[in-house]
Amino acid sequence: MTFTEQLLQELAEAGGRLVKSGSGPELEKWPSRVAAARRSGRIPETKELYGGWCRDGYEMKLVDIPAWRLAALQPVPVPSRLARPHTAVRAMQNEPQPLGLTKSVQGRALRFIQALITAAEAKGNSSSAGQTGFAPPSHRRRTASPHFTITAQGQTVGFLVLQEQDRTEHIATEKELAEAKKNSWIRIPRFDYTPSERLRFVLSGGQPHRASEWADTPGRPLQDQLAEIAQEVTLRGEAAERRRLDEIEATRQRRVRWEAAMDEARVQYAEAYRIRHFEAQEAAWRHATRLAEYVSAVRTRVETMPPGQARAESEAWIGWAAATVERLDPLSTPPRLPDIPEPRADDLRPFLGHWSPYGP
């Protein structure tokens, strides 16, 4: 059994994930072993082998290749000339130096943009021109404002079109040598940069899938990569739509939990109100009992008084006091549960934990 076969068997038995721990030369060999396994051709076509260092050692995983990477992409047709340019392309054509490109590559770049926009709008997406007449400085090649945008399912993807530069060794002139000798702060550049015929597309916005940059390479011109760029826009739009739906569902679930918390808070509020009412009744009964004892003591005292105006006034007071005790005593009426008033937001707050009474 080869090493690759043994590794794939171990991964299958471990559920697709292995972590090799330890130290020393044996552990350090795993990255090269994983690289050899990738080159062996024995990994299933729908799988890819991942290897990387983790806290516990070296981790290896055999994972499914996403379906979008296995999809057969239809080539994006590039027009041979711009007979009916899109509005965004026409805006670029009207610039003195479209996209900041040299004339030798302007036509090719505009035809690529026309092809991408046409493919995008065929899928129901929209496009618009951005800052069409500039080339970003080298330090902002990947953060400058886009030349044009494509919006798929609410996700706007920005496109920068760049012209690659060829670098050659700089040969210092006699004047440069003399000035550098005369002034210590002058530095002679090491390289010269000249615009090449190669183009690069830089994408921004949304969740990257395949990549964020595509460029002409010796074995693969940019026109052969337009299908991947078009797919990337679609993938970022689909990811944005999934996030939007997930956020809607998360919001719905949060509201469901909040409404359940509010219902439970109302139940607890009602029970707390009943308990407070119960305690108030008990306190009122004790208060009425003490008052009744006092009225009884007064009555006993008044009964010993001789007839006359003072006794008559005292007996009148006893009548009023007895009636008052009867009114204050909760036992004078049959007991019943109190009516629960509609709670205010602040009434529910003590029963809501981390939730707000005003909304989820």
The verdict on 229 and 148 lying in the same domain is yes
Collapsed DSSP state (helix, strand, coil) of residue 110: helix
The verdict on 199 and 301 lying in the same domain is no
Question: Greater confidence, 27 or 101?
Answer: 101
Q: What is the pLDDT of residues 77-120, one digit of tens each?
A: 999 999 999 999 999 999 999 999 999 999 999 999 999 999 99
- On whether residue 186 sits in a domain, the answer given is yes
- Computed over every residue of the chain, the mean pLDDT equals 93
168-174 LR contacts (CB < 8 Å, sep 24+): 168/192, 168/194
How many domains is the chain built from? 3
Question: Greater confidence, 21 or 238?
Answer: 238
The verdict on 276 and 338 lying in the same domain is yes
The percent of residues above 90 in pLDDT, for the chain, comes to: 76
Write down the residue that tokens 């008084």 correspond to.
Answer: 305
The verdict on 228 and 313 lying in the same domain is no
The verdict on 55 and 92 lying in the same domain is no
Q: What is the pLDDT of residues 295-343, one digit of tens each?
A: 999 999 999 999 999 999 999 999 999 999 999 999 999 999 999 999 9
pLDDT band at 157 (very low <50, low <70, confident <90, very high): very high
pLDDT at 2: 83
The order of strands in the sheet holding 57-64 is 17-20, 57-64, 47-54
**Two tokens, residue 315:** 């007996």
Q: What is the pLDDT of residues 185-219, one digit of tens each?
A: 888 888 888 899 999 999 999 999 999 999 999 99
Residue 24 has pLDDT above 90, yes or no: no
**Largest CA-CA distance found in the chain, in angstroms, rounded:** 140
List the domain range (segments joined by +) for residue 273. Answer: 267-351
Q: Mark which of 35, 65, 95 sits at the end of a domain.
A: 65
How far is the C-alpha of 213 from the C-alpha of 203, rounded, in Å?
A: 6
> What global pTM score does this model have?
0.75
The verdict on 98 and 192 lying in the same domain is yes
- On whether residue 74 sits in a domain, the answer given is no
**Mean pLDDT value of segment 45-65:** 92
The verdict on 92 and 140 lying in the same domain is yes
The verdict on 285 and 214 lying in the same domain is no
pLDDT at 216: 97
Residue 1 has pLDDT above 80, yes or no: no
The verdict on 209 and 159 lying in the same domain is yes
The verdict on 139 and 19 lying in the same domain is no
**Mean pLDDT value of segment 248-257:** 97
pLDDT band at 292 (very low <50, low <70, confident <90, very high): very high
pLDDT at 179: 85
**Mean pLDDT value of segment 212-227:** 96
The verdict on 177 and 310 lying in the same domain is no
Q: Mark which of 15, 34, 65 sits at the end of a domain.
A: 65
- On whether residue 80 sits in a domain, the answer given is no
The verdict on 115 and 219 lying in the same domain is yes
Q: Where are the alpha helices (DSSP H) in the chain?
A: 3-13, 25-28, 30-39, 67-70, 87-93, 103-122, 174-182, 226-303, 309-328, 345-348
